[in-house]
Amino acid sequence: MESEKTIVVLVILISSVLVVAGGAAGNGLSGCSFPAIYNFGDSNSDTGAFSAAIYPQQPPYGETFFRKPTGRASDGRLLIDFIAKELRLPYLNAYLDSLGTNFQYGANFAVGAGTIRRQNDTQPNGPYICPFYLGVQTTHFANFKARVIDLYKQGKDVNRIPISGDFSKALYTIDIGQNDVARSMFGLSTDEIPDMINQFSTAIKELYNKGARIFWVHNSGPNGCLPSNKLFANRTMDSFDKIGCNNRWNEAVSAFNAQLKERLTKLRADLPQAAITYVDIYAAKYKLISNANKFGFTNPLKQCLHKEKRNRTVVDVSCPNPSKFISWDGVHYTEAANQWLAKAILNGSFSDPPLPITQACHRQAPM
């Protein structure tokens, strides 16, 4: 009897582990095998493009994990790095970084300060205008794919590029829109959101027409909770929620997110071979920020990085323990916060359909 009880207990434990470990055993769907990741976005997922093409990044960026600046807007790894790790793929090289890069397992087309739409306005003291908006990034991908196919046809060395037949099996991640919505708060109107969504939709269709089939799309995070927001808040017209986030800014983001989710639902019908996962990164980030102490972080509306004057020069200086901060520099997240977010979203808890990223190749969750 004792041996039978032991066997039963072991079976229960093993079953529980399988369910927790990945969902494949829990929902009946098979896991996906992604040979590569192609990422599009802004500084939330840029792994070196802005630093390579526009302005070299300086310390103390990158100090926690890489021990040097790598072009990531953090003290260490970004959410896209943890996505690659989850899928057992190497960290992505930036497409615009020409030295020492390896694109065998994908490429990162995201560029810091990137936007969905091309920005033509010139606002006094407004944000930097990045030329690498989403339409340019998708064009870069199209050129990249064409070049890969051509190199295979020529019989050239293909050790550092992806297999030409694997583009339809890859995962296409998109995290962009934060800068567009933020810019709308600098004088542009949130009435511009429908055009942002139209151009976002056009980009997905263009990728689909170039062979992309599996999309993992993040909505935009709560801009009103960024420590930098206090620099732009209008105290005469803005109100703040119970944790200090700017309601007006977050309402603008929520309007963008609602329209994005609605459009992705339509795209699922328009693109019959596409598997499109909408990830509510806003909800995940707000959960982290509103429960910062519970999750081991300090004041979520304060940043780690600060300015100091040394030898008549103002420099960026890191706080003693970045892992206690959610915000690294007032806009971007620390590695510790990015790691928390990865753990929160990659299991499908914030996804529609509610599937983990390891099953994102499926069009829908089982009923």
pLDDT tier at 143, thresholds 50, 70, 90: very high
Please identify every residue annotated as catalytic. Answer: 43, 329, 332
pLDDT of residue 335: 98
Orientation angle between helical segments 281-290 and 335-345, nearest 10 degrees: 120
Orientation angle between helical segments 247-270 and 281-290, nearest 10 degrees: 150
CB-based burial label for 158 (10 Å; 0-12, 13-18, 19+): middle
Mean pLDDT of the chain: 91
**Over the stretch 64-76, which tens digit does the pLDDT of each residue have?**
999 999 999 999 9
In this structure, are strands 214-218 and 171-175 parallel, antiparallel, or unpaired?
parallel
pLDDT of residue 125: 52
Read off the pLDDT of each residue in 3-9 and give the average, rounded to a whole number.
Answer: 43
pLDDT of residue 13: 39
Name the DSSP letter for residue 42.
Answer: S
Instruction: Kindly report which listed range (17-31, 117-131, 345-359) carries the lowest average pLDDT score.
Output: 17-31
Q: What are phi and psi of 308, to 5 degrees?
A: -140, 150
Within the chain, where are the H helices? 2-22, 24-27, 49-53, 79-86, 134-154, 178-184, 193-209, 247-270, 281-290, 335-345
- Confirm whether pTM is higher than 0.85: yes
| pLDDT at residue 25 is higher than 60 | no
| pLDDT at residue 15 is higher than 50 | no
